Amino acid sequence: MKNKNSKIAMLLILALSFMSYTTLKDKTVKVEDSSIIWKGYKVGGEHTGTINLKSGMLSFDGATLTGGTFTIDMTSINTTDLQGEYKGKLDGHLKSDDFFGVEEFPTATLKITSVTGNDGNYNVKADITIKGKTEAISFPMIVKGNSATANLKIDRTKHNITYKSPSLLETIKDKAIYDDFDLNVTLKF
């Protein structure tokens, strides 16, 4: 009886050890808080603002980043460098079909397709979908503790956002809005 109980106890210990190893090895964490700051450029200036993350998660193998998926709430576009009437006009224009068409496309998505690097310094490849158009992008990401930061450069013309694009209309160069915009992202999980 004693021998049988010790065998059962040993099997139980092995099973628990295996389960805890599996739990530590692969994990997915939900993004609890985020900050996404956008910056768009035009001839003679720039505008900045925020946009909200609707949902997000990161996947890890142990402490090594392996993937992630994110949904961005495009209806939350908010200009932070203007106030009053001009802020309202720019927010409305960015939400219109000239830019992000948030009535038809209320969300954008980003899915990490591959990750290289280690010790918290990664090179990430991802597919970003804005206005129903997907583009493959790459960017650096730093993961430290329970937070991650990344700086992305997005070419809006890859998503059929061509309003006053200097690459398409030579005649409006002095009123052009540059094709690339930046997203500076901080994630807490």
Which pLDDT tens digit goes with each residue over 105-147?
999 999 999 999 999 999 999 999 999 999 999 999 999 999 9
Q: Calculate mean pLDDT across residues 85-108.
A: 98
Query: In order of start, what are the domains of the chain with their CATH numbers?
Result: 26-188 (2.40.128.110)
Give the residue carrying structure tokens 């397709």: 113
pLDDT of the residue at 112: 98
Give the C-alpha separation, 139 to 128, whole Å: 12
pLDDT at 74 over 80: yes
Instruction: Provide the b/e sequence for 148-171 (b: ≥16 CB within 10 Å).
Output: bebebebebbbbebeeebbeeeee
Query: Taking the complete model, does pTM exceed 0.75, yes or no?
Result: yes
pLDDT at 100 over 50: yes
User: Beta 121-130 vs 133-144: how paired, if at all?
Assistant: antiparallel
The helix/strand/coil state of 123 is: strand
The helix/strand/coil state of 9 is: helix
Cβ atoms of 77 and 94 closer than 8 Å: yes
Average pLDDT for the chain: 90
Give the C-alpha separation, 137 to 124, whole Å: 8
pLDDT of the residue at 169: 61
